[in-house]
Every structure is written in structure tokens, then in C-alpha cells.
Amino acid sequence: MYFLVALSLYFSWTGARKKEKKKVAWVFGVNLVLNALWSVIFFGFRAPGWAFLDLVLLWVTIWIMIFTVAKVDKKSAWLLVPYLGWVSFAGVLNAGFVW
């Protein structure tokens, strides 16, 4: 899955104009931070409620990533769909710890 995200970043970065590169870097960067934070929050702090909130924000950033890179390269957007599916599934599992 991370390989697909990396490929998406590569294709969108190499196909983007200078102004678009800032948007691509920003959205992928925010997503990376939120992705890393989930493990810290869920496993480190043992706070599934806060981890679920992080997952919701992560899910939103994936959609933003998809719409951002689709303007540059369609295959980059499609490469992110499995990531969206995985985070959606992880959200269902995480929600099981909250409710």
C-alpha cells in the first residue's frame, strides 16, 4: 500500500507544474504526519477515541490527495484508492474500540 502511495507521489510530482508541486507536497506531507500519529495515539497513548479522530482527518486528507493529484495525473489518483479503502477499514476497526 505504501508503495502505491509513493508511486502516486512520484507520478504526480514529476507531472506537476511548479505551483502544483507545492499543493502535492503539502497534502502528502500532512497525510504522512497524520498517518504516523495514528499509531502513536492508538498504541502509545492508548487513546482509541483520539485515534479515531485522527483517522477521520487522515481519511479526509486522502480524498484531498486524490482530487489534488487527479488534476495532474489520473493514474496517481487511482493509485490512492487502495489506501482509502484500507484507512476506511481501519476506521471501522478503530470505531469498534470506541463504541
Residue 55 cell numbers, joined: 483517522
- Domain carrying residue 20: 2-98
Global confidence as pTM: 0.95
pLDDT, averaged in runs of 10, over the chain (99 residues): 97 96 97 98 98 98 98 97 98 95
How many separate domains does the chain show? 1
Alpha helices in the chain (DSSP H): 2-15, 18-39, 48-70, 74-79, 81-98
